[in-house]
Homo-oligomer: A and B are copies of this chain.
Amino acid sequence: MFLKNCWYVAAWDHELIDGKMLPRTILEEPVLLYKSETGKIVALEDRCCHRGVPLHLGRREGDCVRCMYHGLKFDATGKCIQIPGQEMIPPKLGVKSYPVVEKDHVVWIWMGDPAKADPADIIDFPFLRDPQWTGIPDYLHYDANWLLIVDNLADFAHLAFVHTNTLGGSEEYAYVTKPVAIERMSNGFRVERWHMDAAPPPFHRKVLPAEEKDRNVDRRNIGTMFIPGIFYLQTLFSPAGSGSEKGNREGSREYCNVQFMTPETRRTTHFFWTYLNNFEGEDHNVSRSLHQSIIDGFMEDMHFIEAQQKVLDTDPDFKMLAVAADAPLSHFRWTLGKLVAAERAAETTEKASAVIPVKAPHQAGVNT
């Protein structure tokens, strides 16, 4: 059910400081992440090939990891390089290693065929390295399929109802605004929506100087979603009537928000995000206030999305009915579905000539 040959976000780089061994399940595979002594990030299967003990219960030895059950030692490529009490190491002994790239504080991982991993395919977010943009990167865990979060982000109308008193500002938003553009891309979608001449929504009003708090604003949201679940939102607030829709940026304030959805399992999700602004200067309380407002908003989303997951768990036959605003999410699921199907078909072809492994005596009975 997952697309494997693509880049997923595995972690923020700050999660790996000080030699931390971070276990994280990604696409239902147990992964161990750590930063080597040269600073390169290592991602190994978090499961000793010998008896299946998680390697994060083991010990780092330089850039290697030793399983602390029977002492097998693996290098940063996953190769077993020592078995205490045994001289010959069978070449097949080792754990899987995953291509990893650290870029602009984001740790990207490739869960599919390593031969196909091309760092050039990682989507570039220049504002993540631009000192003009500041914010606090963070992580949330969802008890829901990642696509339900993608759905949520595909229709801004939910701002009006879910986030009336936090991120939205009014229910009017759902009625008087519409997407001015929906772009269907081969790897996602792009939606744009304007809301003219309204009070600033609560999260924005909080960080405004006193004299701006009660002035109406024009608000523009541009959301872009890439497969498998990479989202960024460019938000512009400008003085009402100042012509920002025609390109005038005078008196504007901007936000840039990334949200990365990485499936932990088919019903749980790693959610990485940061909410950047370009105007706080030295006043980090702006970032701190925005960070808290956004968390409040995400909790509102989570309330609905996790409830949705429970409904789907209870009745897997439930058929959702589409409304007009579902065009972007329908496109996304349709596109993703085609890619997954193609990937599965290719795998089947590859496996057809492979040998079926037979259970060996040393593990007979364990799984049955």
Contacts and interface: CB of A to CB of B under 8 A. Distances in A.
Contacts of A123: none
Contacts of A326: 50, 362
A324 interface: yes
A51 to B, nearest CB: 6
A161 B325 contact: no
A202 interface: no
Interface stretch (A105-113, A114-122, A283-291, A303-311): A303-311
Contact of A70 (B47, B51, B57, B158): B158
Given A148-B366, A303-B57, A323-B70, A84 B331 contact: no
Interface string A18-39: 0000000000101000000000
A176 to B, nearest CB: 9
Nearest to A82: B175
Given A148-B366, A312-B367, A320-B49, A331 B361 contact: yes
A162 interface: yes
How many of these chains are in the complex? Answer: 3
Contacts of A75: none
A319 interface: yes
A262 to B, nearest CB: 15
Contacts of A366: 145, 147-148, 312, 320, 333
Interface of A: 1, 28, 30, 47, 49-54, 57, 66-72, 83-86, 90, 92-93, 145, 147-148, 151, 155, 157-158, 160-162, 171, 174-175, 177-178, 266, 303-304, 307-308, 311-312, 314-316, 318-326, 329-331, 333-334, 336-337, 340, 357, 359-368
